[in-house]
Amino acid sequence: MKSSVLVLMLGTALSVSVSAQNQVIDETKLVTLHGTVHPLALPQYDQGRISDSFPMHRLLLTVKRPADREKDLQQFLQDVHSPGSPAYHKWLTPDEYGTRFGALDEDTQVVSAWLQTHGFSVSRVTRNKSLIEFFGTAGQIREALHTEMHQYSVKGVDFYANAGEISVPQAIASRIGGFAPLNRELRRSARSPRCFPLASARPARCIRPGLPW
Say how far apart CA 78 and CA 65 lie, in whole Å: 18
Closest alpha carbon to 140 in 53, 48, 59: 53
Cα 99 to Cα 18: distance, rounded to the nearest angstrom = 29
The Cα–Cα gap between 51 and 76 comes to: 46
Please, are residues 29 and 101 in contact by the beta-carbon 8 Å criterion? no
pLDDT at 208 over 50: no
pLDDT in tens, 94-134: 999 999 999 999 999 999 999 999 999 999 999 999 999 99
The more confidently predicted of residues 89 and 2 is 89
**Residue 25 pLDDT more than 70?**
yes
| Average of per-residue pLDDT across 9-24 | 45
Instruction: Give mean pLDDT, residues 189-199.
Output: 45
> DSSP label at 52?
T
Secondary structure of residue 89 in the 3-state scheme: coil
List beta partners, residue 166: 33
Cα dist from 72 to 8, 57, 79, 91, whole Å: 44, 33, 10, 15
What is the reported pLDDT for 121?
Answer: 98
- Res 9 pLDDT > 70: no
Q: What is the mean pLDDT of residues 31-43?
A: 94
Give residue-wise pLDDT tens across range 65-94: 999 999 999 999 999 999 999 999 999 999
The predicted model scores a pTM of: 0.78
Residue 194 has pLDDT above 60, yes or no: no
Mean pLDDT for 124-151 is: 97
Gap between the Cα atoms of 126 and 155, Å rounded: 37
Whether the per-residue pLDDT at 211 is higher than 50: the answer is no
Question: Rg (Cα) of the chain, in Å, rounded?
Answer: 20
Task: State yes or no: pLDDT of 19 exceeds 60.
Answer: no
At 22 the pLDDT is 61
pLDDT above 50 (res 17): no
Distance CA 37, CA 190 (A): 28
Residue 77 near residue 187 (C-beta atoms within 8 A): no
The pLDDT of residue 33: 95
Domain-wise residue ranges, the chain? 33-64+103-207
CA distances from 200 to 51, 84, 110, 154, 203 (A): 8, 63, 36, 19, 8
First to last CA, the chain: 43
